[in-house]
Amino acid sequence: MITLQELNPKNFPVKELVAKNLFLLLDKMNIVRKAYGKPMIVTSGLRSMPDHLRIYANKGITDKAKIPMKSKHLFGQACDVADPDGKFHKWCEANEDFLRETGVWLENRQGGWQHLQIVPFGSYKVGGTIWFNP
């Protein structure tokens, strides 16, 4: 079971809307976790703006024009799950209908994690793909 502490491990103070988002994210992530049937490790949940900028600086990206300044991580609407071997990603691909019904959208795989969010990406069309490229 995923906990609220995993989604906000640094205990960032949150306003009411972000708190609501985190509880919805927690609910949906535990639905996914139960269906997946294996442990899931959240590697990134809620971020403060300084934390967000630090993460991108560690990747060598400091130009704010290249940083997603409206990242769903900043609003308690997204998390990344460790997926070093790609097994969770493959499970997500095989279970797109379930994820769509649950209200989860995903980034196409970029590394050893899988990004999930509880709001559609900007170009999403109802019934379309739940996958997007950042």
What is the dihedral angle through the alpha carbons of 133, 6, 91, 24, rounded to the nearest 10 degrees? Answer: -70
Kindly report which listed range (3-7, 20-24, 29-33, 120-124) carries the lowest average pLDDT score. 120-124
Which range of residues forms the domain containing residue 69? 4-132
Specify the pLDDT at position 82: 97
Closest CA to 101 of 32, 9, 24: 32
68 pLDDT tier (thresholds 50, 70, 90) = confident
pTM of the model: 0.91
Helix ranges (DSSP H) in 37-127: 49-58, 87-94, 96-102
Q: Over the stretch 110-123, which tens digit does the pLDDT of each residue have?
A: 889 999 999 998 87
Determine the pLDDT at residue 7. Answer: 97
Q: Which contiguous run of DSSP H or E holds residue 22?
A: helix 16-36
Over range 73-85, report the average pLDDT: 97
What local confidence, expressed as pLDDT, does residue 128 receive?
84
- In 3-state terms, what secondary structure has residue 40? coil
Is the pLDDT reported for residue 88 higher than 90? Answer: yes
Number of domains in the chain: 1
Residue 4: how many other CB atoms lie within 10 Å? 15
**Model confidence at 21: pLDDT above 80:** yes
CATH number at residue 22: 3.30.1380.10
Mean pLDDT computed over 79-100: 97
